[in-house]
Amino acid sequence: MPPTTGRVDVPAARTLLGEVAAAMAGLPPSAPADLDGARSRHTELVVGDALPGLRARVLAAVAHLPCTPDPSTVRAHRHGTGDFTLPRRAGDAADGGWALVLPLEDSDTDGVTAWTGARFDRLLDRAGTALLLPPHAWTWVSPVRQDRSRHTVLMGVR
């Protein structure tokens, strides 16, 4: 189990942006956002067996962390302007375990918010700075304000 909740450095994150963006090119976003029906709007790519090279590079980027990534939970998300993710438990995206949220680019306005039960933690997108969250933490992405897509990698860790 990861030793602490919080921010962790992943210097290799910047090198992943181009490959993740290319792999997601042409993928449509989820169904239109609907707060009444509780549906988020973003594009998700499962970085699984069909993308073994990308998955290997993502896992290598986080290999130095004091936790073990779960290869079966690696996902890439793209949020366009106005897209968002409704609040959910961090463990929901990580097969019930700890979650790592890894921004692949910088933003002064957009990022992820988490509630760990002790405090809110807002992580503006900074390539190379990830957020490690326990399974019970609530996490969400507010509507993206920047005029370009934001890309992140999510995965479960033990």
Asked if residues 67 and 131 have their Cβ atoms less than 8 Å apart, the reply is no
* Residue listed under structure tokens 């290997």: 56
For 124-145, how does the pLDDT look when each residue is reduced to its tens digit (9 = 90+)? 999 999 999 999 999 999 999 9
Q: What is the pLDDT of residue 33?
A: 55
Q: How far apart are CA 25 and CA 61, in angstroms?
A: 22
* 67 φ/ψ angles, rounded to the nearest 5 degrees: -155, 165
72 in helix, strand or coil? helix
Q: What is the pLDDT of residue 63?
A: 93
For 100-115, how does the pLDDT look when each residue is reduced to its tens digit (9 = 90+)? 999 999 999 999 999 9
* 12 φ/ψ angles, rounded to the nearest 5 degrees: -75, 0
What is the pTM assigned to this prediction?
0.89
The yes/no answer on whether domain 6-25+39-157 falls in CATH 2.60.120.620 is: yes
Q: What is the pLDDT of residue 120?
A: 87
